């Protein structure tokens, strides 16, 4: 199952089914019942999902995985100086005015370099997002975004850049 990113920034992710310890007799009985009810126990267990919201444990990692899932052929994320500067500018602009993500992305000189820098931030996990948010505040002014807010904004920007890339590929 793929990770699904929702408009509000939340992610629906697959989860491994919970394991419950049982004695041998109960386990055999449960297996027989599950097989009778579902026909195939593995299918029923494979459908478990949960919703992660920015700031929750595992969200940054799931967002990075979602991004990789959007373009599995993309190589390892590499952050350049100009890409990082663009990433900071676009994150600041979107944080200031969340209704105009597309306009903020359109204003970038090199959206792909900015996207690569943001992917590089995500790969580093929560500490990397925290450090990036502080860097944005220092470079662009204002207070540092909370890590969960910065992560949500990064997800919005990456989704917008990917949608621009998808549109240009179909033209």
Lookup: tokens for 61: 């990692």
Across all residues in the chain, what is the average pLDDT?
A: 82
Has residue 84 got a pLDDT over 60?
Answer: yes
Most distant CA pair in the chain: distance in Å?
66
The pLDDT value given to residue 27: 52
Instruction: Determine the Cα–Cα distance for residues 152 and 136; give it in Å rounded to an integer.
Output: 15
- Phi and psi angles of residue 80, each rounded to the nearest 5 degrees, phi first: -105, 165
The whole model's pTM is what?
0.69
- Asked whether 71 and 123 are in contact (CB, 8 A), the reply is no
The pLDDT value given to residue 23: 57
Instruction: Determine the Cα–Cα distance for residues 8 and 59; give it in Å rounded to an integer.
Output: 13
Q: Report the half-sphere exposure of 103 (CA within 13 A, side-chain side).
A: 9
Instruction: Determine the Cα–Cα distance for residues 123 and 119; give it in Å rounded to an integer.
Output: 6
Residue that wins the pLDDT comparison between 159 and 30: 159
In angstroms and rounded to an integer, the radius of gyration of the C-alpha atoms of the chain is: 20
Specify the DSSP element, H or E, that contains 70. Answer: helix 59-70
Has residue 39 got a pLDDT over 70?
Answer: no
Domain map of the chain by residue range? 4-52, 59-170
Has residue 32 got a pLDDT over 90?
Answer: no
pLDDT band at 44 (very low <50, low <70, confident <90, very high): very low
Residue that wins the pLDDT comparison between 152 and 166: 152
For 105-129, what is the mean pLDDT? 92
Query: What percentage of the chain has pLDDT greater than the value 70?
Result: 78
- Asked whether 111 and 164 are in contact (CB, 8 A), the reply is yes
CA distances, 72 to each of 65, 77, 79 (Å)? 10, 12, 18
Residue that wins the pLDDT comparison between 35 and 47: 47
Among 15, 27, 1, smallest CA distance to 58 is for 15
The pLDDT value given to residue 43: 41
Residue that wins the pLDDT comparison between 128 and 169: 128
């Amino acid at each position: 199952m793929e990770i699904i990113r929702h408009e509000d920034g939340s992610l629906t992710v697959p989860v491994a089914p919970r394991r419950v310890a049982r004695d041998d007799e109960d386990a055999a009985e449960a297996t027989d019942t599950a097989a009778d009810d579902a026909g195939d126990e593995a299918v029923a267990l494979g459908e478990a999902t949960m919703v992660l919201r920015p700031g929750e444990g595992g969200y940054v990692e799931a967002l990075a995985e979602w991004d990789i899932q959007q373009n599995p052929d993309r190589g390892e994320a590499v952050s350049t100086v100009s890409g990082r500067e663009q990433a900071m500018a676009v994150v600041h602009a979107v944080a200031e005015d969340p209704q105009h993500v597309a306009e903020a992305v359109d204003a970038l000189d090199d959206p792909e370099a900015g996207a690569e820098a943001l992917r590089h931030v995500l790969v580093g996990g929560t500490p990397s997002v925290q450090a990036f948010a502080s860097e944005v505040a220092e470079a662009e002014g204002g207070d540092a975004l909370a890590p969960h807010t910065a992560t949500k904004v990064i997800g919005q920007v990456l989704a917008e850049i990917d949608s621009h890339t998808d549109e240009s590929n179909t033209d």
